[in-house]
Amino acid sequence: MSTRAIRGAIQVDANSAEAIASGVMELLPAMLKANALTTLHVISVILTATPDLTADFPAAAAREIGFGAVPLLCASEIDVPGALPRVIRVMLHCESDRLASEITHVYLRGATALRKDLAQ
């Protein structure tokens, strides 16, 4: 097993606790599934939100879907003029048998525009 970092992002519809939770609950399981992982493989998760998402902590939703024993950290993204709004980004650290080149990074909804080279 090697330590790997997996990137992911999702654009949510609104600055509401429900929209933030919905985005996290869609993105994190998709990242696990795409890389054949469970939460037992996860070392830690960094979740960031664009400055326009203030209604709730993305980590709160992660804990609701099985990440309660995983160290989680939330942070705010840099407020770059013209950047894509309402985006939650994830850096998930895990143990995996996959080579770094075999890791699947997951970009959903409007966040596919962030990394067209990696988007599903």
Residues labelled as active-site residues:
7, 63, 74, 77, 89, 107, 115
Closest CA to 58 of 15, 18, 24: 24
3-state helix, strand, coil in the chain (%, to 5): 30, 30, 40
Closest CA to 109 of 34, 52, 45, 26: 26
